Structure 1
Amino acid sequence: MCFEPLLPSRRWLFAGLAALVFAVARAGPAAASDELAAKLAKPGHIAMMRHALAPGTGDPANFTLGDCATQRNLSEAGRRQARRTGDFLRSVGVSEARVFSSQWCRCMDTAELLELGAVEPLPALNSFFRDRAGGPEQTRQLREKIGELDLSQPVLMVTHQVNITGLTDVFPSSGEIVVLRREADGDLAVLGTVDPRSTQ
């Protein structure tokens, strides 16, 4: 069996096709994230965002609400991540939102660095990492709050992993956004997540 040498023109053709396939493969997840995030500009949707990168787990033993020096805080990488996420959301049409946040400093800082609107502290978004027994009641309060909200404008909530998992069963990474839709019967449907890497 003999093989015909691959002519230069054919080599360029195959190289071009390979580059196109690679580009489509890379663009796929980003395009999906763009489409999902763009739903937040439509009525009836909520974004639940885990605070940006804050090295460590939990909080120091001397944790004091309102005193950032006693808390786990955003790293510089986390602050950049939050800013870039705000830029990303604006790029898909979410230029302004009603923003709620846990009272923990790393969440408030994340919410403010997004620059999507004034930040409203919401105790129902506070971490129950140290008090898992209180988690179900706090999740119920959060569901109740979401049920009362006017969702004619974008709504974004910055909180903690335990709170998001308690509400949605999703375990988000730092800076990840879970997109929800409030159904007519009040139930919350998880539409998907926006990986923070896709916003960079």
Structure 2
Amino acid sequence: MRIIKITLLLLISFNVSFKVISANDLQNIFSDDGKIIFIRHAYAPGGGDPDGFDISNCASQRNLNFEGIAQSKRIGKFFKEHNIKIDKVLSSEWCRCKETSKYAFINHETKSFLNSFFSQKFAHNKDKQIKELKDYIIKWEGKKNLILVTHYVVISEILNVSTSSGEIVITDKNFNILASINTSNN
């Protein structure tokens, strides 16, 4: 019985991408533009943010380390190699999301509706942010693809899926999941 519990715990704790895609599948997904591409920020060691962190002070936040920077660069390379057309890159105001955006795509703009609401300090923002995010998507008329660099809690709330650091989740405008791509080195 103990072995079964341990096995189940291990299986639950692994974040397995829910859809493995081939280059051909990827080409089919992007055969027409207008996709919403959620990216959980690249690897930043730890969980949550330090007590008393300041959103305007990166030194007070949990940030990307060398591995996270390398992962961000792999994300950018993936988009270039597959010639995925980008309309805009939007990022959370948290530094680990802005860093992911900077290393992967260079240009981005921040939107507060992509911010984390994981900590008690920001939990009250959840409903407002989700509404603003959905409203933004409804009004978005880009001809290419929209990239949203955000946090686990935002992606989980919108798509009802678990994501690992740097994971890419591709959806249509109705948030139907088309594919997930794990960008870790594992």
Asked if these proteins are the same fold (TM beyond 0.5), I'd say yes
> Under a length normalisation based on structure 1, what TM-score does the superposition of the two structures give?
0.75
Query: Distance in 2 between the 1:45 and 1:177 partners?
Result: 12
Shift in Å, 1:39: 3.1
Query: Distance in 1 between the 2:167 and 2:27 partners?
Result: 11
1:58/1:72 contact within 8 Å kept: yes
1:192 and 2:179 are equivalent in the alignment: yes
Q: Say which of 132, 137, 141 aligns to 2:132.
A: 141
Aligned pairs (5 A) from 1:30-179 = 31=22, 35-36=25-26, 39-40=29-30, 42-94=32-84, 96-115=86-105, 118-130=107-119, 131-179=122-170
Could you tell me which amino acid in structure 2 is paired with residue 50 of structure 1? R
Change (3 A) 1:149 1:35: same
Q: Secondary structure of 1:145's partner? A: helix
Q: Secondary structure of 1:158's partner? A: strand
Q: Secondary structure of 1:193's partner? A: strand
1:45/1:151 contact within 8 Å kept: no
Bigger drift between 172-181 and 125-134 goes to 125-134
1:38/1:94 contact within 8 Å kept: no
Q: Deviations over 1:100-159 (max 9, x none)?
A: 0001000000001112x5211000001001133432221111111111112311210100
Bigger drift between 55-64 and 91-100 goes to 91-100
**What do you get for the CA RMSD once the two structures are aligned?**
2.3
* Percent of matched pairs sharing the same residue: 33
Q: Deviations over 1:54-109 (max 9, x none)?
A: 00010011210121000000010000000011101111112544100001000000
1:100/1:158 contact within 8 Å kept: yes
Pick the structure with greater CA Rg: 1
Aligned match of 1:180: 171
1:38/1:92 contact within 8 Å kept: no
1:49/1:157 contact within 8 Å kept: yes
Query: Distance in 1 between the 2:55 and 2:93 partners?
Result: 7
- Large movers: runs of 4+ above 4 Å: none
Query: Distance in 1 between the 2:31 and 2:49 partners?
Result: 34
1:181/1:188 contact within 8 Å kept: yes
Change (3 A) 1:35 1:151: farther
> Under a length normalisation based on structure 2, what TM-score does the superposition of the two structures give?
0.81
Structure 2 residue runs of 5 or longer lacking an equivalent are: 1-18
Shift in Å, 1:192: 2.3
1:82/1:114 contact within 8 Å kept: yes
